[in-house]
A and B are shown apart, each in its own frame.
Chain A
Amino acid sequence: MTAVQNYRVQSGDTLTGIAHRLGVSPEALMRANHMDAAQADGRMGRGSHDPDRLQVGQQLVIPVATPGLEREHQVVAGETLAGIADRWGVSVKELLAANPQFDASKLGAHAGHGRGQDPDLLHIGDLIRRPKPAPAPDRTGEASVRYGMRLATDEATQQASVQVAGHRDAWLDLQHFADPALGSNAAAAIVIGTAEGTRRPDGGFTPAYGGHTDPGNAAHNRGSFSYQHTASSPADADRRQLQTLSNQLPAYEAAARRAGLDPNNARLASAYLDLLNQSPSAAGRFLNQLGTLRGQPLDAAHIADLRLHSFVDASTGQRFRLGSGGLAGSGFATIAQRQQHGRTPTEAQVQAVIRADQLRRTNAVESALQRQGLLAPAPVAPTTSGGVPRYLQIARGELGTHEIRGSQDNPRVVEYHQATSLKARDDETSWCSSFVNWTMQQAGVRGTNSAAARSWLNWGQAVPKDAAHVRPGDVIVFPRGNNPAQGHVAIVSEVLDNGLVRVIGGNQGVRGENYDGVTYSDRQLSSAVGVRRAP
């Protein structure tokens, strides 16, 4: 559940037990109730902030669910069942079993035979129940002998503070992985060939490897990559295509580093190269959007999702339109039409085929990487802290959250409201101050508890309104129109030159859309009515 609630302590309760039962982390529970985690030692101390001093009947504030620990989850825009399953560490099958509202036979763009909801078509606000936990699989022995394992130490991760300590990452020597001289023995040929249907995860060959007619354009395909150009043998075809793929590795490495990701990550590199073989332009879009993976687990679900959004524009839900007027993924439209027995498919049906194909390919890549000993547990992509206040980091994590058009309300925005005394239940009520209060609350900083933007003018310490004094993390209040009672509050994210500040705030306008959201926006510093710093 996502709403803030209270809980009355009962006999036999422990803080960790309550936290586990309600799907929040013990740390978040302690923070929300002003307890001192340093005093949590299992012994009842004298201090009123000792988490071990729980009293029967005591009221505890239960904060919002901690991602990954919640018992239920309300679907938000862009989520997939596979992504939710992955976050909870369960299989899609287990998730479907715990959620009988879905018809499992419809999974993967199939028509299905039941009347239940299509698991590929989640709706915003759908409630997904978490299955009971299963024993964690033993992941030992996955280390690659051939490629070795190492702690992530590339430039990008050295600059960043890795949030999950001690996580080991699967590491590929990219040049060796896609070395043209290795031809069909290159691991990239095996991995991509498995997705292409020409190879087996163990490195074996399917009949298609030797040569087959492409059902799409009737050209002759050869080798692991279904190569259509002149080659003396399937192995020669592999050498030639590996040369093309490896030529693009510098661009991939640069894009990954820019996004703060490890380019040598086996899943990431394989996904890019497989997509490059499937659709070079989609691979280009994949690179341009790598930043969206930052801070996310680099697992199959997130990678498949980005692959999907290399064909479908995440901001519009429409397929990318090419320069000559065609649409990305036009071959999938033909497949969807075949599945619809010749009827023109809807856009949703075409996209379901793309999604299913990207999931299938991602899983095939995953199985080959695993079989080749190139996988480790999914690491969390690093995020930089850069010394900024925690509430600013939390605010950045909310970028993109926005109101829902029409009568529905985004539960996340309603959550923001619970951080003020107004406790509004809709996303139409102005929520800039609720958002700032919420980020403060999440970071354990006392806010104003008021939904009024100008309430922040009395918070913390005043800061002079000039670039020499203002710094990231300061709270900034702007006027709104000519009404002295109204205003807009946000957090300074960056101090720019020319007297400008880049702020991050909630309830900020998004041009061209009928909603306000959590966004960055540039303002003139001199137009602010006040800048305040946390007490």
Chain B
Amino acid sequence: MMVRMRFPVIALLLPLAAQALPPPPTQLVCAPDGIHRWGVSRDASGTPSQVSLSVAAGTRECDFGSAGSPTAQADGSWRFEWDDEILGQHQRVDVKRAGADGYALTLTPADCGALKVPASATLAPSGKGCSVSVDRDGAFAQFWRQLRDALARGDGELLQQLSLPQLEFVEGPDIVKAPSTVMRRAARCLPRVTATTQRLEIRDMIGGNQAPRLDMPPLSRKGDSRVDFAGAMDIRWTPQGWRMAGFNASRDVFGSCPP
């Protein structure tokens, strides 16, 4: 399908926003026994940004991930404290550095649903069942925060930065492309884009304060490199982090969106 250029070519030459987006976080994950799986996500300085735990016991299982940023403690440790909506409990996890690149975690309470979990654990890259990788879930939470900010401020440049250079749109049976400059006018119309088969709009998720969960509808992972928001929006993984890739709307919807 031929792509019609509806936006001035000069717009493509404009410099992107001066402020560079932060790099994706990395995570240290340890699954030492086939029952428990611990994770610490951290930024480039090693400051933890999220802790997570999952436990399986036969046909039962439980997992949680911290919400919000940790509070730095006087002794150099960090405290994550949040009300877990899924578990219906107040949870606290204290994190201390252990060795050069490890962490010691202490859980209060040592509960996850009806299941018991260890009250403490020490994670290190060299530990049994441990590995370090780019944290795509953490990067997604980062992307989601930036998207919310951009929409709240009507920041078209940031929306463009959070997009692939070419975006896909749906026009009847055709999937058509448009350059990311179309995002500069999209702030008011993007939240209203609809899911393909549900009465759900992007704003239904963007509006809340909860961190997005990639393991929970309406978000859905499509392989390692793609996240689908119920057909309304498609998000792709790039070495720079997650970027918007397409919408369930025609190009005109963004192109003629009022400022």
Note all chain A residues with C-beta closer than 8 A to B258: 498
Given contacts A228-B115, A323-B213, A326-B31, contact A432 B172 (CB under 8 A): yes
CB distance from B142 to the nearest CB of A (A): 13
Q: Please tell me which one of the listed residues A322, A334, A478 contacts residue B215 in the complex, with CB atoms under 8 A apart.
A: A322
| A332 contacts the other chain (CB 8 A) | yes
A421 CB-CB contact with B under 8 Å: no
Partner of A214 from B29, B58, B249 at Cβ < 8 Å? B58
Q: B11-19, B83-91, B98-106, B154-162: which lies at the A interface?
A: B83-91
Tell me which residues across on chain A come within 8 A of B122, comparing CB atoms: none
Q: Mask for B209-253, Cβ within 8 A of A = 1, else 0?
A: 000011111101110001010010010000000000111111011
Q: Which one of B32-40, B71-79, B145-153 is at the A interface?
A: B32-40
Given the interface contacts A291-B198, A315-B228, does A509 sit within 8 Å of B170 by beta carbon? yes
A391 touches B (CB below 8 Å): no
- Contact-residue size bin, chain B (C-beta under 8 Å from the other chain): 35 or more
A125 CB within 8 Å of chain B: no
A520 within 8 Å of B (CB atoms):
yes
Q: Are A488 and B173 in contact, with the CB atoms below 8 A?
A: yes
Are the CB atoms of A521 and B248 closer together than 8 Å? yes
Which residues in chain B, 26-56, are within 8 Å of chain A measured between CB atoms? 27, 29, 31, 34-35, 37-39, 50, 52-56
Q: Which of B149-186 contact A (CB under 8 A)?
A: 168, 170-175
Q: Please tell me which one of the listed residues B63, B133, B246 contacts residue A512 in the complex, with CB atoms under 8 A apart.
A: B246
When distances are taken between beta carbons in the complex, the residues of chain B under 8 Å from A498 are 188-189, 192, 257-258
B111 in the interface (beta carbon within 8 A): yes
A-B pair number, CB within 8 angstroms:
243
A505 to chain B: which residues have CB within 8 Å? Answer: 172
Contacts of B111 in A (CB 8 A): 229
B37 contact set on A, CB distance < 8 A: 322, 324-326
A-chain residues with CB within 8 Å of residue B52 when the two chains form the complex:
322-324
Q: Least Cβ distance of A76 to chain B in Å? A: 14
- Interface window among A176-184, A264-272, A278-286: A278-286
Query: A438 to chain B: closest CB distance in Å?
Result: 17
A206 to B193, alpha carbons, bound, how many Å? Answer: 53
Q: Does A357 contact B (CB under 8 A)?
A: yes
9 cross-chain pairs, A with B, having the tightest CB-CB distances, nearest first: A488-B172, A216-B57, A216-B58, A324-B39, A524-B252, A331-B56, A519-B196, A217-B57, A522-B249
Given A229-B116, A508-B170, A512-B234, 18 other A-B residues pairs in contact with their CB atoms under 8 A = A216-B59, A217-B55, A229-B114, A244-B114, A285-B215, A323-B39, A330-B61, A334-B56, A399-B196, A400-B197, A432-B173, A498-B192, A509-B174, A512-B226, A516-B173, A520-B194, A521-B194, A524-B252
Q: List 11 A-B contacts (CB under 8 A).
A: A216-B60, A225-B114, A251-B85, A279-B61, A280-B113, A316-B222, A320-B216, A328-B215, A331-B57, A488-B171, A510-B231
